[in-house]
Amino acid sequence: MAPLCAALLARLLLGQLSLVPAWLSGVGAQVGPGFELRQPQKEMSVIAGETLTLTCTVTAGGPLGPVKWLKGWDSGSEIIYDQKGSSSRVIRTVNNSNTDFTILIRDVRPEDAGTYYCVKFRKWDTGDQLYQRGEGTVVSVQARPSTPTLSGPSRRVEPGKTASFTCKTGGFFPRDISVRWSKNGAPAEAELTNVTPGPSNFTYNMSSTVTVTLQKGDVRSELSCEVQHATLTAPLNRSYHLSQILRVPPSVVMAEPQGPVGLNKTVSFTCDVQGFYPGNVTVTWLENGTEMNMGSSPQPTETPEGLFELRSTVVVQAVQEKNGSVFTCRVVHEGQDPISRNAVLWVAASGQKESNTSNTNDGLLFIYVAVGVVCTVLALLVVAILYLIRAKQSKGKSSPSARLHEPEKSSGTTTQESDPNNLTYADLNFTKEKKNIQRIIEVSQQSEYACIQSSQAPASNDNLTYADLDMVHLSKAPRRPAPCPEETTSEYASVQIQRQ
């Protein structure tokens, strides 16, 4: 009975062992003298995409059996290299060698991180059993971040409005990463930066967002996203030209004739489309709502600021039938709503003056007339003031005076005689004035004459100066002939004397 129990127990133990991998059944097996397995690398760090080299050498004299590379240990182990064949990414550095089992893992991936063991097996009837293993090499895989992508709004944005931009990168390890934004070299503050696990547990993804207020001058501005990571020798940069999403609407100015246009004259209507971006714009002319056939359209030209401008002109003959016609310049930019400007053509009636600039001329004429009137009034005032001053000066300095010379009255002579030659003289000092007054000498019994001496003769007989003196009484001198002054040295004055 005892031998039977012993046999059953032995079979049971053998059945349990068959459930464990054959190489584990050799754990703790004694190594024969003279055999040595060397795995010198304790830790290795490699960048994803590069080639990993794992070194393992053995000495001769070991038992028969293969040398394998395992990733991990116990139940979670995975065969990386087997002499019978392995992954296409894993190769031996020295083929057919019995002592050098160094392998290369090409195009390392983040999931290749782990601990690798070089293991010597020996053949056994039930399979390969562990004979000896190395101490293991801990491999860490660092993954570079992918080239950043920088995206903006799906539609164009006008100046004064904000736009959000997102910078993304992924597949990097370890997790630590930084991002820096700049606009035209000046730092810009990121609103949000997120780092999340990637598709596998060995990589991470990053997303960063910044918001920018666009300006009209951003046609040539550039937004940049710079990524820094431990696996990078230099930062990764991505740029975005703001002109890709900027839209500057045009300003439209229409020039039209001022006032009516002469009959059958040609007149031009000009439409200036200024300061727009991008340069794709369509200009259409309409007459009373009907599109005009303008042929080829002019092409926009670029300004130094990077914006565009365009000028479109239509020439119309001012016939009477077009009087009051409305001409419209319609501008469509970037598929937006049209911008329209209108002008009316007024045709002058037959015989009416062409008055393209009548309003301007009328305004200028009014200004000229007003200025002329004011200047004339001022000139007259100045002349009048000068005249009054001169007259006052003449009156004060050289006013005429009459000096009457009379002899002393005699008691016996009280009655005037009616002799015309009985004269009384008066010396009158006058400022010399030459007047073209016809000489008039009144001969009358009621007149006496006074001779007025002048220092200079008049130019002619008619250039004389006269003074009529009305007197109540003048004493008479003794009778003597009336003097006959020389005309070259005298001027005359007629003195009226009332007889008493």
- pLDDT tens profile 283-321: 999 999 999 988 778 899 999 999 999 999 999 999 999
Is the per-residue pLDDT at 444 higher than 50? no
Q: Are strands 137-142 and 43-47 parallel, antiparallel or unpaired?
A: parallel
Q: How confident is the model at residue 47 (pLDDT cuts 50, 70, 90)?
A: very high
How far apart are the C-alpha atoms of 313 and 268, rounded to whole Å?
7
DSSP state letters, 234-275: S-EEEEEEGGGTB-BPPEEEEE--SS-B-TT-EEEEEEEEEE
Whole-number mean pLDDT of the chain?
77
pLDDT score at 295? 75
294-316 per-residue burial string, b: 16 or more CB within 10 A, e: under 16: eeeeeebeeeeebbbbbebebeb
pLDDT score at 256? 86
Please report how many Cα atoms fall inside a 13 Å half-sphere around the Cα of residue 18, on the Cβ side: 8
pLDDT score at 125? 82
pLDDT score at 367? 81
Provide the 3-class DSSP secondary structure of residue 110: helix
- pLDDT tens profile 388-438: 888 887 765 544 444 444 444 444 444 444 444 444 444 445 444 444 444
- pLDDT tens profile 262-285: 998 999 999 999 999 999 999 999
Q: How far is CA 263 from the centre of its chain?
A: 43
How far apart are the C-alpha atoms of 54 and 135, rounded to whole Å?
13
Is the per-residue pLDDT at 335 higher than 90? no
If you compute the radius of gyration of the chain from its CA atoms, what whole number of angstroms results? 64
Amino acid at 358: S
* pTM metric for this prediction: 0.57
Q: Which residue has the higher pLDDT, 152 or 12?
A: 152
Mean pLDDT, residues 147-169 taken together: 96
- pLDDT tens profile 171-188: 999 999 999 999 999 999
